[in-house]
Chain A
Protein backbone atom coordinates (compact mmCIF):
# COMPACT_ATOMS: atom_id res chain seq x y z
CA UNK A 1 0.00 0.00 0.00
CA UNK A 2 1.35 3.43 -0.94
CA UNK A 3 0.98 6.54 1.14
CA UNK A 4 -1.16 8.23 -1.49
CA UNK A 5 -3.71 5.43 -1.16
CA UNK A 6 -3.71 5.84 2.62
CA UNK A 7 -4.68 9.46 2.08
CA UNK A 8 -7.96 8.31 0.47
CA UNK A 9 -8.89 5.65 3.01
CA UNK A 10 -11.17 6.06 5.99
CA UNK A 11 -12.57 3.60 8.49
CA UNK A 12 -16.08 2.35 7.70
CA UNK A 13 -16.76 0.66 11.02
CA UNK A 14 -20.43 1.37 11.78
CA UNK A 15 -21.42 3.76 14.55
CA UNK A 16 -18.56 6.23 14.37
CA UNK A 17 -19.03 9.94 15.07
CA UNK A 18 -19.78 12.04 11.95
CA UNK A 19 -16.57 12.59 10.02
CA UNK A 20 -14.81 9.97 12.12
CA UNK A 21 -12.50 7.22 10.97
CA UNK A 22 -9.91 9.40 9.31
CA UNK A 23 -6.98 9.30 9.18
CA UNK A 24 -6.20 5.66 9.81
CA UNK A 25 -3.07 5.19 11.84
CA UNK A 26 -0.30 3.33 10.03
CA UNK A 27 1.39 1.00 12.43
CA UNK A 28 4.92 0.50 11.36
CA UNK A 29 8.13 1.93 12.68
CA UNK A 30 9.28 3.73 9.58
CA UNK A 31 11.16 6.97 10.01
CA UNK A 32 9.98 9.71 7.75
CA UNK A 33 12.45 11.45 5.49
CA UNK A 34 10.29 14.50 5.39
CA UNK A 35 10.43 17.58 7.58
CA UNK A 36 7.52 17.78 10.07
CA UNK A 37 5.92 20.65 8.14
CA UNK A 38 6.09 21.79 4.51
CA UNK A 39 8.73 24.45 4.01
CA UNK A 40 7.66 27.85 2.71
CA UNK A 41 7.74 27.88 -1.14
CA UNK A 42 7.65 24.10 -1.17
CA UNK A 43 6.21 24.05 -4.70
CA UNK A 44 9.51 25.39 -6.02
CA UNK A 45 11.74 23.30 -3.80
CA UNK A 46 12.86 20.50 -6.13
CA UNK A 47 14.53 18.47 -3.42
CA UNK A 48 11.47 18.55 -1.20
CA UNK A 49 9.18 17.61 -4.11
CA UNK A 50 11.41 14.71 -4.99
CA UNK A 51 11.27 13.40 -1.43
CA UNK A 52 7.51 13.96 -1.32
CA UNK A 53 6.96 12.08 -4.58
CA UNK A 54 9.11 9.26 -3.30
CA UNK A 55 7.22 8.95 -0.04
CA UNK A 56 3.78 9.18 -1.68
CA UNK A 57 4.32 6.87 -4.62
CA UNK A 58 7.45 4.83 -4.18
CA UNK A 59 7.33 3.66 -0.60
CA UNK A 60 5.08 0.71 0.10
CA UNK A 61 3.79 -0.72 3.32
CA UNK A 62 4.06 -4.46 2.79
CA UNK A 63 3.22 -5.76 6.27
CA UNK A 64 1.52 -3.89 9.06
CA UNK A 65 -1.91 -2.58 9.85
CA UNK A 66 -4.20 0.43 9.69
CA UNK A 67 -5.93 1.42 12.88
CA UNK A 68 -9.25 3.28 13.03
CA UNK A 69 -8.58 6.37 15.16
CA UNK A 70 -12.08 6.25 16.69
CA UNK A 71 -12.91 2.59 17.24
CA UNK A 72 -9.41 1.16 17.47
CA UNK A 73 -10.32 -1.53 14.95
CA UNK A 74 -7.25 -2.77 13.10
CA UNK A 75 -7.20 -3.62 9.40
CA UNK A 76 -4.25 -5.85 8.48
CA UNK A 77 -1.93 -5.17 5.55
CA UNK A 78 -0.38 -8.27 4.07
CA UNK A 79 1.90 -8.43 1.00
CA UNK A 80 1.12 -4.80 0.36
CA UNK A 81 -2.66 -5.33 0.27
CA UNK A 82 -4.85 -3.95 3.07
CA UNK A 83 -7.85 -6.10 3.99
CA UNK A 84 -10.70 -3.69 4.69
CA UNK A 85 -13.49 -6.25 4.84
CA UNK A 86 -15.74 -5.99 7.88
CA UNK A 87 -16.96 -9.17 9.51
CA UNK A 88 -20.62 -10.20 9.33
CA UNK A 89 -21.13 -9.03 12.92
CA UNK A 90 -19.51 -5.66 12.36
CA UNK A 91 -21.35 -4.71 9.19
Chain B
Protein backbone atom coordinates (compact mmCIF):
# COMPACT_ATOMS: atom_id res chain seq x y z
CA UNK B 1 0.00 0.00 0.00
CA UNK B 2 1.32 3.39 -0.96
CA UNK B 3 2.40 5.34 2.10
CA UNK B 4 3.53 8.92 2.30
CA UNK B 5 5.72 10.81 4.69
CA UNK B 6 4.05 14.19 4.87
CA UNK B 7 5.73 17.40 5.92
CA UNK B 8 3.48 20.17 7.15
CA UNK B 9 4.24 23.80 7.87
CA UNK B 10 2.41 25.16 10.88
CA UNK B 11 2.49 28.47 12.76
CA UNK B 12 5.71 28.45 14.76
CA UNK B 13 5.00 27.73 18.39
CA UNK B 14 2.04 25.52 17.59
CA UNK B 15 3.92 22.43 16.46
CA UNK B 16 2.69 20.45 19.47
CA UNK B 17 -0.91 21.52 18.82
CA UNK B 18 -0.64 20.42 15.20
CA UNK B 19 0.86 17.09 16.25
CA UNK B 20 -2.12 16.54 18.55
CA UNK B 21 -4.54 17.24 15.75
CA UNK B 22 -2.72 14.79 13.48
CA UNK B 23 -2.84 12.13 16.19
CA UNK B 24 -6.52 12.77 16.79
CA UNK B 25 -7.67 12.85 13.17
CA UNK B 26 -5.20 10.60 11.39
CA UNK B 27 -3.94 8.38 14.17
CA UNK B 28 -0.35 9.10 13.27
CA UNK B 29 2.42 10.27 15.55
CA UNK B 30 4.37 13.31 14.40
CA UNK B 31 7.97 14.28 14.57
CA UNK B 32 8.58 17.90 15.32
CA UNK B 33 11.53 19.11 13.33
CA UNK B 34 14.32 21.31 14.66
CA UNK B 35 13.41 23.54 11.74
CA UNK B 36 10.67 25.38 13.56
CA UNK B 37 7.20 25.46 12.15
CA UNK B 38 7.37 21.99 10.58
CA UNK B 39 6.08 18.60 11.60
CA UNK B 40 6.38 15.24 9.86
CA UNK B 41 4.07 12.24 9.95
CA UNK B 42 3.42 9.11 7.94
CA UNK B 43 0.02 8.17 6.54
CA UNK B 44 -1.33 5.82 3.87
CA UNK B 45 -1.70 7.77 0.64
CA UNK B 46 -5.44 7.17 0.65
CA UNK B 47 -5.68 9.41 3.74
CA UNK B 48 -4.71 12.46 1.73
CA UNK B 49 -8.23 13.95 1.77
CA UNK B 50 -8.19 13.92 5.59
CA UNK B 51 -4.71 15.40 5.60
CA UNK B 52 -6.01 18.34 3.59
CA UNK B 53 -8.74 18.90 6.17
CA UNK B 54 -6.31 19.52 9.01
CA UNK B 55 -7.00 22.92 10.54
CA UNK B 56 -3.60 23.62 12.11
CA UNK B 57 -1.61 23.25 8.90
CA UNK B 58 -0.61 26.00 6.46
CA UNK B 59 1.14 24.03 3.73
CA UNK B 60 1.75 20.36 2.91
CA UNK B 61 4.45 18.51 1.04
CA UNK B 62 5.41 14.88 0.49
CA UNK B 63 8.92 14.01 1.61
CA UNK B 64 11.23 12.51 -0.99
CA UNK B 65 14.15 12.11 1.36
CA UNK B 66 15.28 13.43 4.69
CA UNK B 67 18.89 13.81 5.76
CA UNK B 68 19.25 14.28 9.49
CA UNK B 69 22.93 15.11 9.31
CA UNK B 70 24.06 16.06 5.84
CA UNK B 71 27.74 16.89 5.55
CA UNK B 72 28.20 19.87 3.30
CA UNK B 73 31.58 20.30 1.67
CA UNK B 74 33.28 23.50 2.65
CA UNK B 75 34.04 24.55 -0.86
CA UNK B 76 31.08 26.10 -2.67
CA UNK B 77 31.57 24.33 -5.99
CA UNK B 78 31.94 20.96 -4.26
CA UNK B 79 28.92 21.49 -2.04
CA UNK B 80 26.75 22.44 -4.99
CA UNK B 81 28.07 19.56 -7.09
CA UNK B 82 27.06 17.18 -4.29
CA UNK B 83 23.53 18.54 -4.39
CA UNK B 84 23.40 18.10 -8.14
CA UNK B 85 24.63 14.51 -7.87
CA UNK B 86 22.02 13.82 -5.24
CA UNK B 87 19.10 14.16 -7.64
CA UNK B 88 19.53 10.89 -9.51
CA UNK B 89 20.02 8.96 -6.27
CA UNK B 90 16.76 10.07 -4.67
CA UNK B 91 13.72 7.78 -4.41
CA UNK B 92 11.34 9.87 -6.52
CA UNK B 93 8.89 7.18 -7.61
CA UNK B 94 6.60 6.86 -4.61
CA UNK B 95 6.50 10.56 -3.75
CA UNK B 96 5.65 11.37 -7.36
CA UNK B 97 2.83 8.86 -7.19
CA UNK B 98 1.55 10.62 -4.10
CA UNK B 99 1.83 13.92 -5.95
CA UNK B 100 -0.22 12.49 -8.83
CA UNK B 101 -2.85 11.18 -6.44
CA UNK B 102 -2.94 14.58 -4.80
CA UNK B 103 -3.50 16.23 -8.18
CA UNK B 104 -6.51 14.08 -8.90
CA UNK B 105 -7.92 15.11 -5.52
CA UNK B 106 -7.51 18.77 -6.38
CA UNK B 107 -9.43 18.31 -9.61
CA UNK B 108 -12.32 16.71 -7.75
CA UNK B 109 -12.78 19.70 -5.46
CA UNK B 110 -15.63 21.92 -6.53
CA UNK B 111 -14.61 25.33 -7.74
CA UNK B 112 -14.52 27.65 -4.80
CA UNK B 113 -14.45 31.37 -5.02
CA UNK B 114 -10.77 32.29 -5.16
CA UNK B 115 -9.70 34.41 -2.28
CA UNK B 116 -7.21 37.21 -2.73
CA UNK B 117 -4.09 35.21 -2.05
CA UNK B 118 -0.60 35.57 -3.32
CA UNK B 119 1.23 32.28 -3.23
CA UNK B 120 4.98 32.06 -3.74
CA UNK B 121 4.15 31.17 -7.32
CA UNK B 122 3.10 34.79 -7.66
CA UNK B 123 -0.21 33.92 -9.15
CA UNK B 124 -2.60 36.83 -9.08
CA UNK B 125 -5.91 35.94 -7.56
CA UNK B 126 -8.90 38.26 -7.99
CA UNK B 127 -8.75 40.87 -5.31
CA UNK B 128 -11.76 41.89 -3.30
CA UNK B 129 -12.09 45.60 -3.91
CA UNK B 130 -10.50 47.68 -1.22
CA UNK B 131 -8.97 44.77 0.62
CA UNK B 132 -5.42 45.25 -0.61
CA UNK B 133 -4.11 45.64 2.89
CA UNK B 134 -5.38 42.18 3.65
CA UNK B 135 -3.69 40.77 0.59
CA UNK B 136 -0.38 42.33 1.54
CA UNK B 137 -0.68 40.96 5.02
CA UNK B 138 -1.35 37.53 3.60
CA UNK B 139 1.57 37.79 1.24
CA UNK B 140 3.80 38.51 4.17
CA UNK B 141 2.50 35.45 5.96
CA UNK B 142 3.06 33.30 2.90
CA UNK B 143 6.63 34.43 2.58
CA UNK B 144 7.39 33.88 6.24
CA UNK B 145 8.49 30.35 5.91
CA UNK B 146 10.61 31.16 2.93
CA UNK B 147 12.50 34.00 4.47
CA UNK B 148 15.79 33.24 6.08
CA UNK B 149 19.16 34.72 6.91
CA UNK B 150 22.67 33.39 6.80
CA UNK B 151 22.88 33.32 10.57
CA UNK B 152 21.11 30.88 12.83
CA UNK B 153 20.93 31.89 16.45
CA UNK B 154 19.42 30.23 19.52
CA UNK B 155 16.63 32.12 21.29
CA UNK B 156 18.07 34.42 23.90
CA UNK B 157 15.09 34.27 26.17
CA UNK B 158 14.94 38.01 26.22
CA UNK B 159 11.26 38.56 26.03
CA UNK B 160 11.10 42.27 26.45
CA UNK B 161 12.81 43.33 23.29
CA UNK B 162 10.59 45.55 21.25
CA UNK B 163 11.24 46.23 17.59
CA UNK B 164 11.67 42.56 17.05
CA UNK B 165 11.69 42.67 13.30
CA UNK B 166 14.79 40.99 12.07
CA UNK B 167 16.62 41.61 15.33
CA UNK B 168 15.54 39.37 18.17
CA UNK B 169 16.03 35.73 17.35
CA UNK B 170 13.01 33.94 18.57
CA UNK B 171 12.70 30.60 16.89
CA UNK B 172 16.28 29.89 16.05
CA UNK B 173 15.86 31.54 12.68
CA UNK B 174 15.80 35.25 12.09
CA UNK B 175 13.04 36.32 9.83
CA UNK B 176 13.40 39.49 7.87
CA UNK B 177 11.00 41.15 5.59
CA UNK B 178 13.31 43.00 3.21
CA UNK B 179 12.96 41.78 -0.36
CA UNK B 180 16.68 41.33 -0.97
CA UNK B 181 17.05 39.00 2.00
CA UNK B 182 14.29 36.71 0.92
CA UNK B 183 16.15 33.71 -0.28
CA UNK B 184 13.33 31.89 -1.95
CA UNK B 185 14.77 31.02 -5.29
CA UNK B 186 13.48 29.53 -8.45
CA UNK B 187 15.22 27.88 -11.30
CA UNK B 188 15.34 29.99 -14.38
CA UNK B 189 14.77 28.29 -17.69
CA UNK B 190 17.88 26.35 -18.62
CA UNK B 191 20.06 27.23 -21.55
CA UNK B 192 19.08 23.99 -23.25
CA UNK B 193 15.56 23.88 -24.48
CA UNK B 194 14.29 20.33 -24.71
CA UNK B 195 11.62 19.55 -27.21
CA UNK B 196 8.24 18.31 -26.02
CA UNK B 197 8.78 14.79 -27.31
CA UNK B 198 11.79 14.31 -25.14
CA UNK B 199 9.78 13.47 -22.01
CA UNK B 200 11.35 10.72 -19.93
CA UNK B 201 10.53 8.68 -16.86
CA UNK B 202 6.83 8.47 -17.57
CA UNK B 203 5.77 11.02 -15.01
CA UNK B 204 4.54 13.37 -17.64
CA UNK B 205 2.04 10.96 -19.13
CA UNK B 206 -1.59 11.83 -18.64
CA UNK B 207 -2.65 8.56 -20.11
CA UNK B 208 -4.67 10.03 -22.89
CA UNK B 209 -3.30 11.47 -26.06
CA UNK B 210 0.25 12.75 -26.23
CA UNK B 211 2.78 12.53 -23.42
CA UNK B 212 2.81 15.86 -21.63
CA UNK B 213 6.09 17.33 -20.43
CA UNK B 214 5.81 18.45 -16.83
CA UNK B 215 6.80 21.93 -15.81
CA UNK B 216 8.56 22.39 -12.53
CA UNK B 217 10.40 24.75 -10.32
CA UNK B 218 12.63 24.35 -7.28
CA UNK B 219 12.10 26.38 -4.13
CA UNK B 220 15.01 26.41 -1.72
CA UNK B 221 14.83 27.54 1.89
CA UNK B 222 18.17 27.71 3.60
CA UNK B 223 19.06 28.60 7.17
CA UNK B 224 22.38 28.19 8.93
CA UNK B 225 25.70 29.95 9.20
CA UNK B 226 28.02 27.27 7.89
CA UNK B 227 26.89 26.93 4.31
CA UNK B 228 29.18 28.11 1.57
CA UNK B 229 26.36 28.76 -0.87
CA UNK B 230 23.14 30.72 -1.06
CA UNK B 231 19.68 29.28 -1.51
CA UNK B 232 19.63 30.88 -4.97
CA UNK B 233 22.65 28.89 -6.01
CA UNK B 234 21.37 25.68 -4.48
CA UNK B 235 17.99 26.04 -6.19
CA UNK B 236 19.65 26.80 -9.49
CA UNK B 237 22.01 23.86 -9.49
CA UNK B 238 19.63 21.38 -7.92
CA UNK B 239 17.03 22.48 -10.45
CA UNK B 240 19.44 21.98 -13.27
CA UNK B 241 20.01 18.42 -12.19
CA UNK B 242 16.25 17.83 -11.83
CA UNK B 243 15.70 19.11 -15.33
CA UNK B 244 18.45 16.84 -16.63
CA UNK B 245 17.11 13.81 -14.80
CA UNK B 246 13.42 14.09 -15.66
CA UNK B 247 13.58 16.13 -18.85
CA UNK B 248 10.94 18.42 -17.33
CA UNK B 249 10.63 22.02 -18.32
CA UNK B 250 11.57 24.73 -15.85
CA UNK B 251 8.83 27.30 -15.32
CA UNK B 252 8.73 29.74 -12.47
CA UNK B 253 5.09 30.69 -12.59
CA UNK B 254 3.16 27.93 -14.33
CA UNK B 255 4.57 24.79 -12.83
CA UNK B 256 3.04 21.37 -12.24
CA UNK B 257 5.63 20.15 -9.79
CA UNK B 258 7.17 22.29 -7.09
CA UNK B 259 10.27 20.62 -5.73
CA UNK B 260 11.22 21.81 -2.25
CA UNK B 261 14.78 21.86 -1.02
CA UNK B 262 14.77 22.74 2.68
CA UNK B 263 18.13 23.18 4.31
CA UNK B 264 18.28 23.93 8.02
CA UNK B 265 21.88 23.66 9.23
CA UNK B 266 22.67 19.98 8.61
CA UNK B 267 19.08 18.93 8.20
CA UNK B 268 18.15 18.60 4.54
CA UNK B 269 14.69 17.70 3.32
CA UNK B 270 13.75 17.21 -0.31
CA UNK B 271 10.02 17.31 -0.90
CA UNK B 272 7.27 17.91 -3.42
CA UNK B 273 4.60 20.49 -2.60
CA UNK B 274 1.02 19.26 -2.21
CA UNK B 275 -0.60 22.63 -1.63
CA UNK B 276 -0.28 25.51 -3.98
CA UNK B 277 -1.98 28.13 -1.95
CA UNK B 278 -1.69 28.32 1.78
CA UNK B 279 -4.71 26.91 3.58
CA UNK B 280 -4.56 29.53 6.26
CA UNK B 281 -6.99 32.00 4.78
CA UNK B 282 -9.67 29.45 4.11
CA UNK B 283 -12.53 30.88 6.16
CA UNK B 284 -12.15 34.52 5.38
CA UNK B 285 -13.47 36.16 2.25
CA UNK B 286 -13.60 39.72 3.55
CA UNK B 287 -10.22 40.76 4.87
CA UNK B 288 -9.32 43.53 7.22
CA UNK B 289 -5.94 45.13 7.81
CA UNK B 290 -4.92 42.62 10.47
CA UNK B 291 -6.87 39.47 9.72
CA UNK B 292 -5.51 36.55 11.69
CA UNK B 293 -4.73 33.41 9.72
CA UNK B 294 -7.11 30.54 10.43
CA UNK B 295 -4.35 28.13 11.38
CA UNK B 296 -3.22 30.47 14.15
CA UNK B 297 -6.83 30.98 15.24
CA UNK B 298 -7.24 27.20 15.38
CA UNK B 299 -4.09 26.78 17.45
CA UNK B 300 -5.26 29.42 19.93
CA UNK B 301 -8.67 27.79 20.26
CA UNK B 302 -7.16 24.37 20.89
CA UNK B 303 -5.10 25.88 23.65
CA UNK B 304 -8.37 26.79 25.41
CA UNK B 305 -9.38 23.11 25.39
CA UNK B 306 -13.01 23.89 24.49
CA UNK B 307 -15.58 21.58 26.04
CA UNK B 308 -19.09 20.97 24.68
CA UNK B 309 -21.50 23.72 25.85
CA UNK B 310 -18.65 26.15 26.61
CA UNK B 311 -19.46 29.79 25.88
CA UNK B 312 -16.50 31.20 23.95
CA UNK B 313 -16.18 34.94 23.44
CA UNK B 314 -13.86 37.01 21.28
CA UNK B 315 -14.41 40.57 22.52
CA UNK B 316 -12.12 42.19 19.87
CA UNK B 317 -13.00 39.98 16.94
CA UNK B 318 -12.02 42.15 13.99
CA UNK B 319 -13.12 40.30 10.86
CA UNK B 320 -14.04 37.27 12.97
CA UNK B 321 -11.24 34.81 12.15
CA UNK B 322 -11.26 33.26 15.62
CA UNK B 323 -15.02 32.83 16.25
CA UNK B 324 -15.55 31.59 12.70
CA UNK B 325 -12.85 28.95 13.08
CA UNK B 326 -14.36 28.17 16.47
CA UNK B 327 -17.89 27.68 15.17
CA UNK B 328 -16.62 25.50 12.32
CA UNK B 329 -14.45 23.20 14.44
CA UNK B 330 -16.25 23.26 17.78
CA UNK B 331 -19.92 23.36 16.84
CA UNK B 332 -20.99 22.12 20.29
CA UNK B 333 -19.70 25.29 21.88
CA UNK B 334 -21.41 28.65 21.57
CA UNK B 335 -19.36 31.47 20.08
CA UNK B 336 -19.92 35.18 20.55
CA UNK B 337 -17.90 37.76 18.64
CA UNK B 338 -17.81 41.47 19.30
CA UNK B 339 -15.98 44.58 18.23
CA UNK B 340 -16.49 48.33 18.60
CA UNK B 341 -15.54 49.06 15.01
CA UNK B 342 -18.56 49.09 12.67
CA UNK B 343 -16.37 48.09 9.70
CA UNK B 344 -15.06 45.07 11.54
CA UNK B 345 -18.56 44.05 12.62
CA UNK B 346 -19.81 44.31 9.06
CA UNK B 347 -16.91 42.24 7.69
CA UNK B 348 -17.32 39.63 10.38
CA UNK B 349 -21.04 39.34 9.57
CA UNK B 350 -20.21 38.97 5.88
CA UNK B 351 -17.68 36.27 6.62
CA UNK B 352 -20.24 34.38 8.65
CA UNK B 353 -22.74 34.63 5.77
CA UNK B 354 -20.12 33.31 3.36
CA UNK B 355 -19.48 30.41 5.68
CA UNK B 356 -23.20 29.68 5.94
CA UNK B 357 -23.52 29.70 2.16
CA UNK B 358 -20.61 27.30 1.89
CA UNK B 359 -22.24 24.82 4.24
CA UNK B 360 -25.65 25.27 2.66
CA UNK B 361 -24.38 24.25 -0.75
CA UNK B 362 -22.75 21.15 0.68
CA UNK B 363 -25.67 19.93 2.73
CA UNK B 364 -29.09 21.34 1.91
CA UNK B 365 -30.91 19.58 4.71
CA UNK B 366 -32.47 21.43 7.65
CA UNK B 367 -31.24 24.97 8.27
CA UNK B 368 -28.85 24.32 11.16
CA UNK B 369 -27.92 27.67 12.59
CA UNK B 370 -24.23 28.37 13.04
CA UNK B 371 -23.59 28.64 16.82
CA UNK B 372 -22.20 32.12 16.48
CA UNK B 373 -23.48 35.63 17.15
CA UNK B 374 -21.96 39.04 16.58
CA UNK B 375 -22.43 42.13 18.73
CA UNK B 376 -21.13 45.65 18.47
CA UNK B 377 -19.68 46.57 21.85
CA UNK B 378 -16.90 48.22 23.81
CA UNK B 379 -14.33 45.83 25.31
CA UNK B 380 -13.94 48.05 28.37
CA UNK B 381 -17.64 47.88 29.24
CA UNK B 382 -19.12 44.63 28.00
CA UNK B 383 -22.89 44.07 28.04
CA UNK B 384 -22.42 40.54 29.37
CA UNK B 385 -23.46 39.13 32.69
CA UNK B 386 -20.75 38.56 35.27
CA UNK B 387 -19.27 35.08 35.19
CA UNK B 388 -21.34 34.01 32.19
CA UNK B 389 -18.49 33.09 29.83
CA UNK B 390 -16.22 30.05 29.89
CA UNK B 391 -13.50 31.11 27.48
CA UNK B 392 -12.17 34.44 26.25
CA UNK B 393 -9.95 34.17 23.20
CA UNK B 394 -8.71 37.13 21.22
CA UNK B 395 -6.05 38.86 19.21
CA UNK B 396 -5.18 41.94 21.28
CA UNK B 397 -4.44 45.14 19.41
CA UNK B 398 -0.81 45.50 18.46
CA UNK B 399 0.60 48.97 18.86
CA UNK B 400 2.22 48.80 15.45
CA UNK B 401 -0.75 47.75 13.39
CA UNK B 402 -3.84 49.03 15.14
CA UNK B 403 -4.08 51.66 17.86
CA UNK B 404 -0.86 52.81 19.44
CA UNK B 405 1.56 51.83 22.18
CA UNK B 406 0.29 54.55 24.48
CA UNK B 407 -3.30 53.47 23.99
CA UNK B 408 -2.36 49.88 24.84
CA UNK B 409 -0.93 51.07 28.16
CA UNK B 410 -4.41 52.11 29.29
CA UNK B 411 -6.37 49.57 27.28
CA UNK B 412 -4.71 46.38 28.42
CA UNK B 413 -5.49 46.61 32.16
CA UNK B 414 -9.09 47.65 31.43
CA UNK B 415 -9.45 44.70 29.02
CA UNK B 416 -8.07 42.20 31.49
CA UNK B 417 -10.39 43.45 34.23
CA UNK B 418 -13.48 43.27 32.08
CA UNK B 419 -12.50 39.89 30.65
CA UNK B 420 -12.01 38.73 34.22
CA UNK B 421 -15.46 39.93 35.19
CA UNK B 422 -17.33 38.08 32.46
CA UNK B 423 -15.31 34.87 32.87
CA UNK B 424 -16.43 32.00 35.13
CA UNK B 425 -14.33 31.91 38.31
CA UNK B 426 -12.18 28.79 38.68
CA UNK B 427 -12.88 27.05 35.39
CA UNK B 428 -12.69 30.00 33.04
CA UNK B 429 -9.69 30.64 30.86
CA UNK B 430 -8.36 33.16 28.38
CA UNK B 431 -6.04 32.78 25.41
CA UNK B 432 -4.67 36.12 24.30
CA UNK B 433 -2.37 36.95 21.41
CA UNK B 434 -0.32 40.10 21.66
CA UNK B 435 2.86 41.62 20.35
CA UNK B 436 3.01 44.19 23.13
CA UNK B 437 4.52 41.77 25.64
CA UNK B 438 5.89 44.45 27.97
CA UNK B 439 2.54 46.16 28.26
CA UNK B 440 0.78 42.87 28.71
CA UNK B 441 3.11 41.68 31.47
CA UNK B 442 2.61 44.92 33.34
CA UNK B 443 -1.17 44.80 32.98
CA UNK B 444 -1.21 41.16 34.09
CA UNK B 445 0.77 41.95 37.23
CA UNK B 446 -2.04 44.28 38.30
CA UNK B 447 -4.78 41.68 37.97
CA UNK B 448 -3.08 38.75 39.70
CA UNK B 449 -6.15 38.29 41.91
CA UNK B 450 -8.22 37.44 38.80
CA UNK B 451 -5.83 35.90 36.25
CA UNK B 452 -2.90 33.48 36.56
CA UNK B 453 -0.53 32.83 33.67
CA UNK B 454 -0.56 29.11 32.77
CA UNK B 455 1.37 28.90 29.50
CA UNK B 456 3.11 31.09 26.94
CA UNK B 457 3.60 30.23 23.26
CA UNK B 458 6.00 32.33 21.21
CA UNK B 459 4.68 32.92 17.72
CA UNK B 460 5.32 34.91 14.61
CA UNK B 461 2.54 37.04 13.18
CA UNK B 462 3.22 38.72 9.87
CA UNK B 463 6.89 39.02 10.70
CA UNK B 464 6.31 40.39 14.17
CA UNK B 465 7.35 38.39 17.21
CA UNK B 466 4.32 37.90 19.36
CA UNK B 467 3.15 35.75 22.22
CA UNK B 468 0.04 33.76 23.00
CA UNK B 469 -0.77 33.66 26.71
CA UNK B 470 -3.00 31.02 28.27
CA UNK B 471 -4.48 32.44 31.48
CA UNK B 472 -6.62 30.73 34.08
CA UNK B 473 -9.35 32.56 35.97
CA UNK B 474 -8.88 32.39 39.74
CA UNK B 475 -11.73 31.39 42.04
CA UNK B 476 -12.19 34.91 43.25
CA UNK B 477 -15.58 36.34 42.32
CA UNK B 478 -15.66 39.73 40.68
CA UNK B 479 -16.78 42.55 42.94
CA UNK B 480 -19.75 43.66 41.05
CA UNK B 481 -23.00 45.47 40.86
CA UNK B 482 -23.72 43.89 37.48
CA UNK B 483 -26.07 40.91 37.31
CA UNK B 484 -24.33 37.58 37.90
CA UNK B 485 -24.67 34.47 35.79
Contact = CB atoms under 8 A, between A and B. Distances in A.
Given A5-B373, A8-B389, 4 more contacts: A1-B375, A2-B369, A4-B334, A84-B376
B375 A5 contact: yes
A8 B383 CA distance: 8
A74 interface: no
| Most chain B Cβ neighbours within 10 Å, of A9, A19, A20, A21 | A9
Interface string A68-79: 000000010001
Contacts of B25: none
A11 interface: yes
A60 B353 CA distance: 14
Interface of A: 1-2, 4-5, 8-12, 16, 18-22, 57-58, 60, 75, 79-86, 91
Given A9-B383, A9-B385, A10-B482, A57 B369 contact: yes
Nearest to A22: B483
B160 interface: no
* Chain B CB within 10 A, most for which of A5, A11, A22, A60: A5
A77 B162 CA distance: 41
Nearest to A9: B383
Among the interface residues B371, B383, B384, B483, which one has the most CB atoms of the partner chain A within 10 A?
B383
Contacts, number: 73
A58 B381 contact: no
Given A81-B376, A82-B375, A84-B377, A20 B383 contact: no
B90 interface: no
Given A4-B334, A22-B483, A85-B340, A12 B375 contact: no
B388 interface: yes
A84 B334 CA distance: 20
Interface in B403-445: none
A68 to B, nearest CB: 10
> Which of B336, B373, B378, B485 gathers the greatest number of chain A CB atoms within 10 Å?
B373
B369 A8 contact: no
Contact of A8 (B311, B378, B481): B311
Contacts of B381: 12, 86, 91
B336 A8 contact: yes
B191 interface: no
Given A10-B482, A58-B367, A85 B378 contact: yes
A18 B481 contact: yes
B373 A85 contact: no
Interface string B447-485: 000000000000000000000000000000000011111
A80 B349 contact: yes
